[in-house]
Structure 1
Amino acid sequence: MVLLQLVDIIADIFAQIGPQHTPSNEFVPDKFRSKWYLSPWQHAFEFVCYMSVLVPLSIWSYHRAIQHPMWINQRSVRPATTLDKVLGVGTGVSYVAIVYYKTLAPSMWRLPYALQPCHTLTLLLTILTVARGKMANLLFQVYVTMTWSSVLALSFPDMSDYEHLGDCINYFYEHVMMLLVPFVLWYTGRFDYIGSPSWIMFGFTFIALYHAAILQIVVLVTEINVATLMTPPAILKDIGIYYRPAQYMICFILHWLYNGVISVGVSSLATNPSSLVNAVPTPKRL
């Protein structure tokens, strides 16, 4: 009963800050505008449900994660090398390009899309190329678990709102760098990748809370359908009003499948670090 009253209160707030009959920005094309595909009450109900599950799960998985021997006995993150700084410039330029191209739209209506998870992760990756300390190590562990989003973006590119050639080129450059840079940071010894089940779960709760809490408010206030949180993508339209729980479930499955492969691959390379070199024949072998 108390939870339902809380849902009613949040629903009223969402209705007030969300899309109204008169659009707040007339320049936003209709297909990108936030609309009440779901009722404010359902938005509020899902919000309470996600918070009730994800917050405790995040706390639990975090406390389990930091008990891992590799975390307890972690070495200091080495100072940034020239290579690290070059990689940081490479990802930083990409993020600046993202923001620049999105500000070119009339009234800068595309700017909220800079908060899309992949763009936010690009900014985080830029920071990780030079950051030090336990927090940097924690964010690296979390970052790696979420790189499946880049694989998905490259496999099924959605550039429906991209209008400039440089923006389109940067789309692919950004997502390739999202996969390449963390591998280089690990392979060159800047970070040690843990990849335990607890860290994988914590990574999922991290990005899921970003969606369910921060982006939920963004799509309401800006009236831009960031991360399809207001209206479903074409592939999920047939599911109807339950598309968001289905979306989270699909992401949960992909998250575990992808990170399972990453953990096995990293373990294999760590056990036999010369495997990459041995895989390439030397002139004597040819």
Structure 2
Amino acid sequence: MAMATMLQMMGDTLKSLSFDFPPSHQTDFADSLGGAWFVSPTQHALEIVFLVPLFTGMTIYFGNRAWGKHTEAYRLLNSKHPVPKASILERIIVVLMIGSFGITCAHKTVTQTLLFLMQPCHASALLLIIVMVWPFKQAPLIPRLLLNIYYYTLWGTILALIFPDLRDHDMFGEIFNFFLEHLLILIVPMYLISNPRYVTLPPSLDMALFSFFLYAFYHSPVLHLFSLWSGYNLNYTIVPPALGFLVETGPNYRYVMYTAALLNMFWTRYLVMENYHNLVRWFRQRSKLKSY
């Protein structure tokens, strides 16, 4: 009885501090922006209490194992060596990335949904821009680490292209820019992983788990709390996407999404990115042999 009372108090407290969402039975799956109490306030509170410390601790733990000062990855990320100048193609890519991101910002400004710039795909576009324009002589670890983390999270872009959520893309050019942005953040890493200007760490279990828990931490508490405060369904923290199999899982849909994210980290980096990287190196070696 005392436990039930405490849980009810936790739910009531979180609900009082959150946006005034409609009840779960009023969930509108035609709307991708707003949410409802699809997940009960009590469950939201429990997830914040238990998942946030877990994600925080595991991010620190696997981060230290993956690229702590005692690791070879740390040495590679901080290595000092001449960095070739950016090619014309790379500069064109930067312009395209900045242009697409600028259009996204304009659309979000007009629709008063700037908070949706926190969506992982928009954050990924900004991350890649930062990586490509970063002055490598200053703190090279930052852009190198960001890029190598992104190699594990590329699956989000692939899924966004397979299951595009265009429910609230009504403005002129918004759908075109959606596909342009997602194609860029899919293709650009393929270009960067084979570019001698950038350092690529070999795939590792520790790095995969660090990337997963960092991604999970960005989801909760960051996006989770912003969603509860604003009423926006940022990265489906409040209501699942309009996909039947996820909706049918009910309030536990996020656990399915976390599990899928964990598994996706591995095939993205080990299967897609590593095989592509090896293929590029093979073609380069073959071209050098032919030139002799």
Normalized against structure 1, the TM-score is what?
0.83
Would the aligned equivalents of 2:30 and 2:167 in 1 still touch at CA under 8 Å? no
1:253 aligns with 2:263: yes
- Alpha-carbon offset, residue 157 of structure 1: 1.2
Rounded Cα–Cα distance in structure 1 between residues aligned with 2:165 and 2:249: 20
Percent same amino acid among aligned pairs? 25
Q: Deviations over 1:198-237 (max 9, x none)?
A: 2122111111111111101111121111211111223211
Classify 1:179/1:21 alpha carbon distance in 2 versus 1 (closer, same or farther; 3 Å): closer
SS at match of 1:129: helix
Would the aligned equivalents of 2:18 and 2:228 in 1 still touch at CA under 8 Å? yes
Normalized against structure 2, the TM-score is what?
0.81
Q: Partner residue of 1:57?
A: 58
Q: Partner residue of 1:98?
A: 104
Q: Deviations over 1:58-98 (max 9, x none)?
A: 11211111154244244337365254433222211111111
1:214-253 map, 5 Å: 214-235=222-243, 236-253=246-263
- Alpha-carbon offset, residue 276 of structure 1: 8.3
Q: Deviations over 1:170-219 (max 9, x none)?
A: 11111111122222223221212212222122111111111111101111
Classify 1:271/1:238 alpha carbon distance in 2 versus 1 (closer, same or farther; 3 Å): same
- Give the alignment's Cα RMSD to 1 decimal: 3.1
Rounded Cα–Cα distance in structure 1 between residues aligned with 2:182 and 2:272: 17
Classify 1:4/1:29 alpha carbon distance in 2 versus 1 (closer, same or farther; 3 Å): closer
Q: Partner residue of 1:81?
A: 86
Q: Among 195, 199, 218, which residue is 1:188 paired with? A: 195
Rounded Cα–Cα distance in structure 1 between residues aligned with 2:20 and 2:164: 31
Higher mean displacement: 233-242 or 114-123:
233-242
Rounded Cα–Cα distance in structure 2 between residues aligned with 1:118 and 1:4: 39
1:265 aligns with 2:240: no
Q: Partner residue of 2:178?
A: 171
- How many residues end up aligned between the 2 structures? 270
Rounded Cα–Cα distance in structure 1 between residues aligned with 2:8 and 2:84: 51
Classify 1:10/1:213 alpha carbon distance in 2 versus 1 (closer, same or farther; 3 Å): farther
SS at match of 2:36: coil
Q: Partner residue of 2:25?
A: none
Classify 1:270/1:158 alpha carbon distance in 2 versus 1 (closer, same or farther; 3 Å): same
SS at match of 2:249: helix
- Alpha-carbon offset, residue 252 of structure 1: 1.4
Rounded Cα–Cα distance in structure 1 between residues aligned with 2:240 and 2:230: 17
- Alpha-carbon offset, residue 112 of structure 1: 2.2
1:150 aligns with 2:152: no
Classify 1:103/1:267 alpha carbon distance in 2 versus 1 (closer, same or farther; 3 Å): closer
Q: Deviations over 1:238-273 (max 9, x none)?
A: 111111111111221222222221353155237525
Rounded Cα–Cα distance in structure 1 between residues aligned with 2:133 and 2:242: 39
Q: Which runs of 5+ in 2 are unaligned?
A: 23-27
Q: Which runs of 5+ in 1 are unaligned?
A: 23-27, 279-286
- Alpha-carbon offset, residue 12 of structure 1: 5.0
Would the aligned equivalents of 1:79 and 1:130 in 2 still touch at CA under 8 Å? no
Rounded Cα–Cα distance in structure 1 between residues aligned with 2:87 and 2:250: 51
Classify 1:10/1:265 alpha carbon distance in 2 versus 1 (closer, same or farther; 3 Å): farther
Q: Partner residue of 1:284?
A: none
